[in-house]
Amino acid sequence: MPMPMPKPTSEGRHDRQVSQEMSQLVRALQATGPKPPAELAELVGAAYWEKDRFDRALALALADGLVYRAADGTINAA
């Protein structure tokens, strides 16, 4: 007997947790202004996140255009 089809989702390639993490990054940048990645990680408490979660959330936020990297390397809210 074949396996049932997975349930459709509107979340695409993001799970709920990474979407929340991305939102945290955006809110932190909106509240405090541009930050280097290391300062942003400290600001959101990424040291307490699972391994590589900060890097994944930042990469997806950059790819989705929620934040951008300036010429000086700082991360800015879009």
* pLDDT per residue as tens digits for the range 3-37: 666 655 555 556 888 999 999 999 999 999 999 99
* pLDDT per residue as tens digits for the range 51-61: 999 999 999 99
7 within a domain of the structure (yes/no): no
Among 23, 20, 19, residue whose Cα is nearest residue 11: 19
Could you tell me if 57 and 18 are in contact, meaning their C-beta atoms sit under 8 angstroms apart?
yes
Q: What pLDDT score was predicted for residue 9?
A: 52
Q: What pLDDT score was predicted for residue 2?
A: 67
Residue 11 CA to residue 19 CA, distance in Å, equals 9
CATH code for the domain of 24: 1.10.10
Span of 4-8, 38-42, 44-48, 57-61 with lowest mean pLDDT = 4-8
Residue span of the structural domain in which 73 resides: 16-77
Residue 47 CA to residue 63 CA, distance in Å, equals 22
Tokens of 58: 């930042």
11 within a domain of the structure (yes/no): no
| Amino acid letter, residue 44 | V
Q: Is 29 left (phi over 0), alpha (psi -120 to 50) or beta?
A: alpha
